[in-house]
Structure formats: structure tokens, C-alpha cells
A and B are shown apart, each in its own frame.
Chain A
């Protein structure tokens, strides 16, 4: 199948852009929908993600707190994670 080289180029450009966005985009997961003021406060604390595009994901399982994900990095400040690590420590003491 012959593809118009211009079309192919355009398509590749789009693909690269979307991939770039995927890695650059910051995902902030929280137990409820955050408003802009709250997100601004979060972004102020973490310089790594300040100028990046973000998306807010709601996950009730978190119970509270937030999880920030960008690229392959995660900053986990959720209650769920804290409880999990607590459980692990108790297990280790046993």
C-alpha cells in the first residue's frame, strides 16, 4: 500500500506529539475532584511538575491524599499507601 509521504509525516508528527504529551503530562489522582485552587497549591509544592500539563483523576480507593504520577515516577501521598506500609511494618514485627 502506498501512503502519501506528506500524510505519513503528518501522522508521525502527531504520534510523537501525543507520546510526548503522555510522558510530559502529570496525573494527579485524588479521592475527590480537586478544584483549581487546590491543584495550584499542589503544583506550588513540587517544582518538578510546576510547568506541566496536568490531569485530575478521581479514585475513591485512595481514601484521602494524592498520588502524583509523571513519566515513570510516582509521588504517593495517599492514605491507602500509608495504611499499606503500616500493615507491612506490623507484619515484619510479627
Chain B
């Protein structure tokens, strides 16, 4: 009892000396409630992007300032809110808590855990909406980001800090490419963020399990706003994920961020805009739909040494309908990004997987970041494939072909074959170079197309067995000199004699 008395005395003492602070709060009254969006009267001095709290407990985010009303998107359950209840401005813009603890976690756009783990402890918050780093803080892309996919690393190289769009119809392997790129970063000291927008929960579970299985979750964060979540959170998800990425980028780390996918994000924003009665434009999207994505993707960049030297590489995904890249959202995002990887249903069905259309895919800045060794073998490959495509269509009508054309067709079909790759099996840079070197030197020309796969398999097996030293050499030297090529030649010839 003595102890309680002591406590009470202490409390009393504190109370006597305590001063009541009069905080002036900004309030409004909910006037109207639409699907996930509340309109409030009052809140005269609220700022755009400020967080507000409803009397019933949910929080909201100011997204529209009208003459005498304020449009608020409700974060979380909006069904509890009644018209006439009070809304209180909290005086800060929407931010997410960030710390290293978030690695390996599955969170919602407000960084609340979706896995079994505890809440994320953080002493820092990052604003969800932030102006992208200015010109003086940036550096051009110079370090490659190895995706582990032969076709991409050779023909459409991606650099750290680049924004490369992955575009294609449903079921063409867009997510697979993004996930394989994440899987390949195990020893690359890169932090990966996978942001799912409007995805099925079953798909998100698959992603989590895949990353867990390959032990890739340790260096990854998954931000999920699934199809069943309110559109407000779907709209915020990419920005929140970027804020998490910026935290690591500012620490000087390299970050890879996947937005899966931005078409659904555009849909979510279209819904919010239409509910707010903003004028609809083409395909009923609001006028600022371009800015929606451009301000998001501008935040991915490579910082210079003064700014910490971090980088954020973005792989946005866009789903097209019937391969129509000239629709509104695809053209927007194509023009924002530094290149695109175009996936085609026909190729996918023909067994070319990853189903990358090499002709339509480009990387505008990644070439500068490609390693010299890869450049050496990939340069010729690109040319071979371009000529092959031209000839392949043409040769279907001709029965008699000259030797030169036959050679081109032969080489092209082999190169196409060698660029095929199983999913979730990324290659190291050295492995990629070895395989492509063999194709580049024409070792596949005498082989039947059906044998290419087994040749590749044996080559990789043998290379993994006894090529550790050679691999080190290739990665270290970057450029393939005569000595390396001699060793490669011996290796490949051994494999051919074995087959």
C-alpha cells in the first residue's frame, strides 16, 4: 500500500505543476461519404496530403481541396464513418515508418505488417509523396543490374538507377521476369522491393513463398495492396513502396523496386478521380494520369557520390490488352521509362520463354552499364537476331535460298534457342557469357536445334564443376582476352565431344 501511496503522491505533484496546453485543432464535418472517399465541410486551413482522423477511428488523406469542401480518401474501413461526424486534421503529411527491420517483411502501404511478425519499429518516417531528387544530385547510370536472364542481360541490359518497363498481355511472364531479377540479387548487395497493386491475394502468397523458398526474402520487402483492399491503399501502395526504397537509397544502398502492376494503379486512381467528380478524359482517366506515373518513376534514379551514391532501379509492369501498346496508359509509361521489355503471347505459346520480343524491346541507358565481356559477345548476337528476323519472314515464301541466307537463318534459330531460359533459374554473369560466347563463336551452327538445350545444360554443369577459376577471371577482367577465350574454347570443345 505504501508504494501506491507514493505513486499517487508523485502523480499529484506532477498534476499540480502540469500546465494545460491549448492546442488549436483544425476540424471539419463529414458531409458526404462515397465509395472510399469522404467529403468534409470545414477544415479551412488543411494542406494537400495531410492526414486527418475521423471520430470513428479511421484515418484519411486529403486529396482534393475544393472551394468550401475537402475530399478525403479513407485509409482502411470507411463503412464505419457516418455523415455528420467530426474530422480532425493531424497536422502532418502521410508518411511511412522506415527502418532496417522492414527487410524480409510483408507489409501494407502504411507499413502495418501482413505477416505474423510484430509491428515495425522505426524511429524515422519517410513521406509517401516526395519530389524526386534534382538534377545536381544525380549521376548517369554506370553499374549494371544483372537480372540473371540471358536475353535481358545480353540484349536489353539494365543499369542500376534505370527505369525499365515490363509490358505484355496477361500470362506472358511479366511477373516471372521481375521475380527472377529479384532472385538473382542474392549476392549482389541489392535491396529488393516488390509492390503488388490490385493483385490477387493468392498471387501475393505465391510471390512470398517463392522468395522464401529461394531465401530471397531476407533482402526483400513486399508491399501489398491486394484486389480486396480499398482503392485508396491501392493508389498509395507504389508511393509508399518508393518511400521505403528512398530510405535505403539515402543510406547509399542500391535498390530494385518492382511495381506489379501500374495499369491497376491507374484504374485505382481513375476510380478515386471519378468519385471525386473530376473531369474525365481519354478512357475516362483524369487529366493528371500522366503525372501520376511520371512523379512516381522520377523518384528512381542514381545519386552521385555527394548524395550518398545510392540508386533505385524501377521495374514497372504494365498489362496490355491484345498486345495493344498504343493504349493510353502503356504509351504514357513507355514514354516515361528508359526502355521497355516487350513480351508477346505468340512467342510464349511458341515456347520462347521468356517471351521477349527482342525487336520491340529497348534499353535506352543500360548499354553504358553493360560489362565489357558481355558487350563483346552480345554485340554480334543483336545483329544476328535482327538479320534473322528480317530473313525469317521473307524466307517462308522462297524455296531456294543462297548459302549466306541459310547460314543467317541457321544462326538465328540457334541464338533464339539459346536465349530460352527456365523460370526461377537465373544465371550468373560468367555463366551467361560462357553460353553466349559459344553461340557467338558459331559452335551451335553445326548442331540440331533440338540438341542446343542439352548442350547448354552440359556446358553449364561442366562450367560449374571446373570453371570456378575461369568464372572469377571473366568477372574480374570484364573483357575477354585471348587466354580466357582459349580456356573457353577448350571447355566448349570438351562438351561437344561429350555430347
A residues bordering B, Cβ < 8 Å? 45-46, 48, 69, 71-77
Q: Are A74 and B44 in contact (CB-based, < 8 A)?
A: no
Q: Are A73 and B22 in contact (CB-based, < 8 A)?
A: no
Q: Are A75 and B27 in contact (CB-based, < 8 A)?
A: no
Which residues of B10-45 are within 8 A (CB) of A?
20, 22-28, 42-45
Task: Give the 10 A-B CB pairs with smallest separation, nearest first.
Answer: A72-B42, A72-B44, A74-B27, A74-B25, A75-B22, A73-B24, A75-B24, A72-B43, A72-B26, A72-B27
CB of A82, distance to nearest CB on chain B (Å): 9
Closest to B42 in A: A72
Residue numbers in B under 8 Å from A74 (CB-CB)? 24-27, 88
Q: Are A71 and B44 in contact (CB-based, < 8 A)?
A: yes
Residue numbers in B under 8 Å from A75 (CB-CB)? 22-25
Closest to B22 in A: A75
CB of A1, distance to nearest CB on chain B (Å): 27
Residue numbers in B under 8 Å from A76 (CB-CB)? 23, 25
> By CB atoms of chain B within 10 A, which of A69, A71, A72, A74 has the most?
A72
Q: Are A77 and B25 in contact (CB-based, < 8 A)?
A: no
Residue numbers in A under 8 Å from B88 (CB-CB)? 74
Chain A binding surface SS class: strand
Contact of B45 among A45, A69, A72, A77 (CB under 8 A): A72
Residue numbers in A under 8 Å from B27 (CB-CB)? 69, 72-74
CB of B225, distance to nearest CB on chain A (Å): 24
CB of B303, distance to nearest CB on chain A (Å): 35
Residue numbers in B under 8 Å from A69 (CB-CB)? 27
Residue numbers in B under 8 Å from A73 (CB-CB)? 24-27, 45
B residues bordering A, Cβ < 8 Å? 20, 22-28, 42-45, 88
* 28 A-B pairs whose Cβ atoms sit less than 8 Å apart in the complex: A45-B22, A48-B24, A69-B27, A71-B42, A71-B44, A72-B26, A72-B27, A72-B28, A72-B42, A72-B43, A72-B44, A72-B45, A73-B24, A73-B25, A73-B26, A73-B27, A73-B45, A74-B24, A74-B26, A74-B27, A74-B88, A75-B23, A75-B24, A75-B25, A76-B23, A76-B25, A77-B20, A77-B22
CB of A24, distance to nearest CB on chain B (Å): 13
Closest to A84 in B: B55
A69 to B23, CA, bound (A): 12
A48 to B23, CA, bound (A): 13
CB of A68, distance to nearest CB on chain B (Å): 8
A47 to B23, CA, bound (A): 14
- List 14 additional contacts besides A72-B43, A74-B25, A75-B23; criterion CB under 8 Å: A46-B22, A71-B44, A72-B26, A72-B42, A72-B45, A73-B24, A73-B25, A73-B26, A73-B27, A73-B45, A75-B22, A75-B24, A75-B25, A76-B25
Closest to B20 in A: A77
Closest to B119 in A: A92
Residue numbers in A under 8 Å from B25 (CB-CB)? 73-76
A69 to B28, CA, bound (A): 11
Residue numbers in B under 8 Å from A72 (CB-CB)? 26-28, 42-45
Residue numbers in A under 8 Å from B26 (CB-CB)? 72-74
CB of A4, distance to nearest CB on chain B (Å): 29
Closest to A71 in B: B44
> By CB atoms of chain B within 10 A, which of A45, A46, A73, A75 has the most?
A73
Residue numbers in A under 8 Å from B23 (CB-CB)? 75-76
Residue numbers in B under 8 Å from A77 (CB-CB)? 20, 22
A69 to B88, CA, bound (A): 13
Closest to B89 in A: A72
Closest to B43 in A: A72
